[in-house]
Amino acid sequence: MADLRKQRGLTQNELAAAIGRTASWLSQVERGVQPVNRLDVLRLLADGLSVPLHVLQPDAVPAEEVTPTPASQVETNDLDQARLILSGHPAAEVLLSPRQDFRAAAMPELRGAVERVWGLTHAGRFTELTAMLGPLVPRLERATRTAPQECRAELHGLTARTYQALAAAFVRQAEADAAWVAADRAIREAELSGDPLAVFAGTYRLAHAFVSLKRLDQAEHVTTVAVNALGRSIEDMEPSPRHLSVLGSLHLMLALVHARSGARAAAREQIEKARVVAARLGEERNDFNLEFGPTNVEIQAVSTAVDLGDAGEALDLSEGLDTSGLSMERQARHLIDLGRAHAQRRHFGDALDCLLKAEERAPDMVRTHVAARAVIRDLMLVAGRTASDELRALAAHADATS
């Protein structure tokens, strides 16, 4: 592997930085001291060296012949290596040797990579996400500093989207401190991209990190500032669907913040404001991967009622709600909320049924969703020795047996 690295003109420090590992770890791998057996790490190295996987692992099955592993059989994902991506300056080596080697022809590849990053984030495939981000983030950070000026705005935008995905993934994995850092970087990159709405989308991610940290006052502050600024900006103009989508999402974030703090009237006021925006929008959209529209507002209304302990209201709101047109992630979240509502009403059979349906749609989400795991533990506690095989299997998969 050292020969491959040298053929590509990379030092150990450069390759290590590109894949999000330390130079000492890479040195041990090259000397045979540290064996690499995990396929995702081998892929990480292959991407960093720009070679096919089978060059490093001759017996590896070509990617096009691989049958995807069922999500229920994948080991628990983690973002430990992704945290290293956020450590220190994002592109320190460029400051010392800013090589002007970026080619505009690489833009389509980078656009596709960022789309895949979001696909992995929505699917909860965090091990694969980490492996992909290891080389991608340093590459983007380097490109924003060394690419021709005409490419830089879009590159900043792609980097902002990548950090937004990382922030969303960290929130899902209860790594809120890292989500804070990722969201802050997303906001900065969005500003450099020249797209103000991307800044507001980054603010949404930042607020979500604050909610996860239980810093509700900070979450309320940043979201309120954003809502007021965006609201004023569209008073005297015909807002685009993107404007409405982002504004509505921020109202839903405020509803979440108020619900978590037990402020019923304020939470419901924000839901109503989001409904007004959604009615004006008139369609489901996914600008900046925020998923906003009339149906999404009602899903959030259900979630807000559950957070407030109003399970009956949540179940009433869900009657006749068709979520089939939304992403599997959003459908699964809704089913988890319904499971929570049924558990609050002590409808344990219905709660289990909702969680099983959620697992069918997004297995990894159930495993990483804090509230879902709490409900599963409660169901196991209530059932005791009479727990069904389905419940036991669900609890084992979600690591919620105790």
For the stretch 221-272, pLDDT in tens is 999 999 999 999 988 888 999 999 999 999 999 999 999 888 999 999 999 9
140 lies in the same domain as 251: no
pLDDT, residue 335, reads 95
Give DSSP secondary structure letters for 325-393. Answer: TS-HHHHHHHHHHHHHHHHHTT-HHHHHHHHHHHHHH-HHHHHH-HHHHHHHHHHHHHHGGG--HHHHH
pTM reported for the whole predicted model: 0.77
Asked if the model's pLDDT at residue 101 lies above 80, the reply is no
40 lies in the same domain as 126: no
Handedness of CA 255, 257, 260, 264 (dihedral sign): negative
pLDDT, residue 85, reads 83
pLDDT, residue 75, reads 39
Asked if the model's pLDDT at residue 361 lies above 60, the reply is yes
Average pLDDT of span 161-171: 95
Distance CA 107, CA 154 (A): 9
- Report if residue 96 sits inside a domain: no
pLDDT, residue 340, reads 93
Domain count, the chain: 4
120 lies in the same domain as 202: yes
Average pLDDT of span 201-206: 98
- Report if residue 394 sits inside a domain: yes
The residue among 184, 213, 242 that closes a domain is 213
In 78-195, where does DSSP find H-type helix?
80-85, 92-96, 107-123, 126-146, 149-172, 176-193
162 lies in the same domain as 236: no
The residue among 319, 351, 382 that closes a domain is 319
Q: How confident is the model at residue 155 (pLDDT cuts 50, 70, 90)?
A: very high
pLDDT, residue 351, reads 94
Which residue range(s) make up the domain with 392? 327-402
- Report if residue 220 sits inside a domain: no
- Report if residue 218 sits inside a domain: no
Residue reference for tokens 């890292």: 178
In terms of pLDDT, which residue wins out, 362 or 136?
136
- Report if residue 97 sits inside a domain: no
- Report if residue 296 sits inside a domain: yes
Q: pLDDT tens-digit profile of 24-78?
A: 667 878 887 666 655 556 767 887 887 776 677 765 444 444 344 443 333 344 6
